[in-house]
Amino acid sequence: MSPLALVTGATSGIGRAFAERLAADGYDLIVVGRDTARLDTFAAGHPGHDVETVTADLSTDAGIDRVAGLAAERPLDLLVNNAGVAHYMPLADLPAARARELLGVKVIAPTMISRAAVGPMVARGGGAVVNVAGMIAFSGPAPAAAGPPRAVYGGSLAHLVAFSQLLATEVADAGVRVQVLCPGVVATEFHTRQGLDLSAVPRMSPEDVVAAGLRGLELGEVVCAPGVEDAGLLRSAAEAGLAAFAGQSTELATRYRRVPAG
C-alpha cells in the first residue's frame, strides 16, 4: 500500500514541488488549493498515481474544516501545510480583511489541520508534519531598512516556528516527526503576485527547498533552513531563546526598579 500525503497550496511553487516530488517517490496524494483548474491539470498529469483534488480556501472556516476533516479521516503518512499569502505592508495600512486572510491561511489553517492529523498519527505510531514558514520568522529584531514592512506576515511565520518546535516535543515519543521548513527567497509566483520583480535577485528553486525539507526529516531537524550552511547558527538561536526562558525569576529585574529620589 502506497504512503499517503496531503499537501496544501499544491497548485504552484513549493507546494507544487512537494506534490511532484512525493508523487515521484511513490506517494498517493491529496492536493489542496484554490484553483480547481490547476489541481485538475496536476491530477491529469499523473495518471499512474492516486491523486485526490480538493478545492478549498484556507482563509475560511469552511475551507479549513473541510481539509481538517480529511486529515482526521485519512491515514496520512505526511502532512505538508504549505498554503500561503503574503500581504506585505505596514500593520496600520493592512486592510482588516487581508489581515484575517493571512492569519487564517498561515496560523489557523496549519494549526487546525495539524491538530486533526496528529491524533490519528499518534494512535498509529508514526507520521510526519511539515509546516512551511520562512527565514523571515527570525527577522523580528531586524532594523526597518532590512526589508519591507510585514509585521503580520513575519509574525505568522514566527508562530509556525514556535508551534512546530513545541508540537515536536509533544509527539516525539509517539514516533511522529514535526518540522518547520524555513526557506529564504524562492523562485515562485509568491512575490510576483505582490507586484514585486525579483528576477534579478538570486533565488532558491522550489525543488531544492523540498529536497532540503525531506532530507531534514531524515536528519531529525525540527527547524530546517535550506539556505543556512552553518547549522550551528540555528542551534545558537535556539539555545539563546532557552537561556532567556530559563533566566526568568519571580523577582522584578533590577533594571525595572525605580531608584528612590535623593
Which residues partner with 130 through β-bridges?
80, 179
Which residue is catalytic, options 27, 88, 153, 256? 153
Contact 152, 99 (CB under 8 A): yes
153 as an active site residue: the answer is yes
Could you tell me the CA-to-CA distances from 210 to 9, 21, 128, 216, 239 in Å, in that order?
14, 8, 14, 10, 26
Rg of the chain taking only CA atoms, in angstroms: 20
> Does residue 181 carry a pLDDT above 90?
yes
- The pTM for the full model equals 0.92
**pLDDT (average), residues 72-98:** 94
Share of the chain above pLDDT 90, in %: 83
Which tops the pLDDT comparison, 175 or 89?
175
Per-residue pLDDT at 185: 85
Q: Is the pLDDT of residue 255 over 70?
A: yes
- pLDDT, residue 261, reads 76
pLDDT for 197: 54
Tell me: pLDDT of 196 over 70.
no
